[in-house]
Each structure stands twice: as structure tokens, then as C-alpha cells.
Amino acid sequence: MSESFEELLQAEELVQIKAGQIVEGKVIDVKPEEIIVDIQYKADGIVTRAEYSSDNTLDLTTVVKPGDPIKVKVLKTNDGDGQVTLSYKKVAAEKAYAALEEAFNSAAVITGKVTQALDGGLSVLVDECRVFIPASLVSDSYEKNLEKYNGQEIEFVITEFNPAKRRVIGNRKKVIVERKEAAAKELFERIEKGMTVEGTVKNVTDFGAFIDLGGADGLLHISEMSWGRVESPKKLFKVGDTVKAFIKDINGAKIALSLKFDDQNPWTLAEEKYAVGTVVTGKVARMVDFGAFVELEPGVDALLHVSQISNEHVEKPSDKFKVGDEVTAMVTDFKPSEKKISLSIKQLLKKEEPAEEEAVEE
């Protein structure tokens, strides 16, 4: 059967394509490195991997399949072999540029994948469009190693958009700062002195640990880490540890934390446990010229004055003891309000003397 006039006219219209034209087609075959597209032309079109994506390792069979509709841009109507060369990437890029311009005008937060860390910043791909984020705008703090961002999906805003030069500048720092400010505002509206909070150890120093509370950092000073003595915060905490503490004080943007919960205060029962006349045993924690401080339990130290160490003259505590030595002595004084306990070995010896004499007489 001969073709009708309308069919011939339609066929004639189908051949009217030219370079730069955007056409709708249908995928008829896919190979890892190229896509064959029916664009209703006398020859099928070819989309190479390079004209589909900036990812030169992409297997095209994983992203499209025969029968899929596809919008492409005509690059050449004849590549020399009678084939039409097409580009999906250029269509996607033009669409992305329009989306980037809209994001620029609305100050919207967008997401892109870091494809390269450069000396001056990051190259980010957003739907086949390149966005450059200067190093100073990558974070709210100095970033020495930008390589760690390679391959990451990051969020940012567009702060400069120049379509004529295809220059698009992103700013990740602005997003981070605004979110931190919002989180800090929410945190300070919620917390109050005395409240128990949970956070993550962000940094550990010789004087304490900084705890990320989700909006602001709190300082857990070495003196607030335990009722007992803490030699070094680094022996107790490491970055990433979860800590539950209570807020000791809030001063402006500064939050002071403490682990010295009242129900764990060893001095609560100390007056009963260490009443005058009680014989106790502890370890020498530290020494000064006038005596030795003996730890009776974590958080409770007692002073053994140099004059109470022995019946004989002792010039300095280090003549008799070293740190860590176990000492047994008698409590001779207790001042609850000052949290001071005095010990004496001499008084203990006096108490033991009568018992010894009786044993000799028998």
C-alpha cells in the first residue's frame, strides 16, 4: 500500500532537525558506554557516556533502559558516519542552570557532590553544573585539608550567579553558621541551671572537656569531673564519648557542666563514717611540708599533720611516706562545714599502748 500524502508530509517534517535543537526521543538500545536513541529521524542518535554524565566510569546500562523517554540536544546531524550525535548532559546542565538561578534568587539551600578539592576551594557538581565554593566559604572554621570532602554530598547556598560567564559561587559557611545559630537559640531557650543534659565530647584539654550539647558547647572542668581527684581529663574522656552531666551555671553563651551530682556526694555521710575517734585507713594522695593528705575515699581527703605522724620527731612527711602508701590513723577532728578531717597516728598509738601493757602483765 502506498503511503498517504499526510504520512509523506509527516516524514518530511521529521527530518527537520539541526544542531542546537532539543528533541524528545526514546531509548532503543543501551551499552555501558553509549545510548542509541530514536529521534524520529532518518538516522538514530547516539549519546556517548561523556555526553550523558561527567562521571567517566558510569555504566549507562545502570541508569537507562530501552523504552525510556529522553530529552537530548542535537550536537551534529552527521558525525561523518551518518550518525546524529546527541547530548543529554547539556540539556541537564541548562535545566540545572535555571534551577541554580532560582536557588540564587530565593537563597534556597541546595545539595551537590564534591568532585574535586582544589587549592582554592571545592568543585561541586549539581546536575551537571559546576559550582565553585572558595576555601574560606567551605566551613565556619579554617579547613586545612579539603581533600576529605571529595565524593561527599554537601549543602550550600548560591551567593554569586553569572550566567554569561557560567560562573556560579557557592557558600557552605553561611548554611553552617545559620543552623548553628538556630540550634543555639533553641538550646538556650530550653536549658536552665541544674538541668541534666547529655552531650558528646568534642575536645579534651588539660583543664577539662568540651561537650557538644547540640547547639552550643559546655565546659566540664577538671574540678567538676569527679568528687575524687582527677589527674588528667584525657584519662577519663576521649572525643566521641557520650556524657550525661548537669548544668552548674549559665553565663551568657558559656555553659559550665558538672558530674558532681549531690546524691553521689561522699561528704553526705562522712560525718557519721569518720566521727572523732574512728580508726580509718587510706592512701597518701599528696604531701606538703606540714603534712600528708590521705584519701579515705574518692572525694574525701584528711590531713595527717607532720606532728601527728609519729611519737618521734619527723621533719617532713616524705621522710616517712611516699604517695600511694597505705596509712592507718585515728580521726581527731572533723569540721563538716569546712569539709576538713584531721588524723593522728600518735593518738592511735596512745590508744593501743594500754592494751599492750595489759597483755604484758598477764
Predicted pLDDT at 187 = 95
Which residue type occupies 215? Answer: G
Same domain, 214 and 283: no
Closest CA to 88 of 141, 139, 35: 35
Same domain, 308 and 278: yes
Closest CA to 269 of 192, 199, 339, 353: 339
Residue 186 resides in a domain:
no
Return all residues near 350 (Cβ < 8 A) that are at least 6 apart.
none
Same domain, 302 and 335: yes
Contact (Cβ atoms closer than 8 angstroms) between residue 170 and residue 124? yes
Same domain, 120 and 197: no
The domain boundary, picked from 55, 87, 119, lies at: 87
Predicted pLDDT at 97 = 85
Residue 116 resides in a domain:
yes
Residue 121 resides in a domain:
yes
The domain boundary, picked from 176, 204, 224, lies at: 176
Phi, psi of 122 (to 5 degrees): -120, 140
The domain boundary, picked from 231, 263, 295, lies at: 263
Same domain, 65 and 109: no
Predicted pLDDT at 165 = 79
Q: Per the structure, how many domains does the chain have?
A: 4
By DSSP bridging, strand 110-117 and strand 153-162 are antiparallel
Predicted pLDDT at 353 = 65
Residue 181 resides in a domain:
no
Residue 324 resides in a domain:
yes
Q: What is the CATH number of the domain that holds 29?
A: 2.40.50.140
Which residues in the chain show pLDDT less than 50?
Answer: 1-2, 8-9, 11-12, 360
Return all residues near 289 (Cβ < 8 A) that are at least 6 apart.
306, 316, 317
Give the DSSP letter of residue 237. Answer: -
Encode pLDDT of 3-32 as tens digits. 555 554 454 455 578 888 888 999 999 999
Residue 172 resides in a domain:
yes
Same domain, 132 and 57: no
Same domain, 311 and 345: yes
Predicted pLDDT at 35 = 93
pTM for this entry: 0.62
Domain interval for residue 79: 5-87
Give whole-number Cα distances, 60 to 36, 89, 113, in Å. Answer: 11, 13, 19
Same domain, 129 and 150: yes
Same domain, 298 and 347: yes
Same domain, 117 and 195: no
Predicted pLDDT at 43 = 85
Residue 182 resides in a domain:
no
Same domain, 119 and 149: yes
Return all residues near 327 (Cβ < 8 A) that are at least 6 apart.
281, 282, 283, 284, 292, 294, 304, 321, 343, 345
Predicted pLDDT at 360 = 47
Same domain, 126 and 63: no
Which residue type occupies 360? Answer: V
Residue 13 resides in a domain:
yes
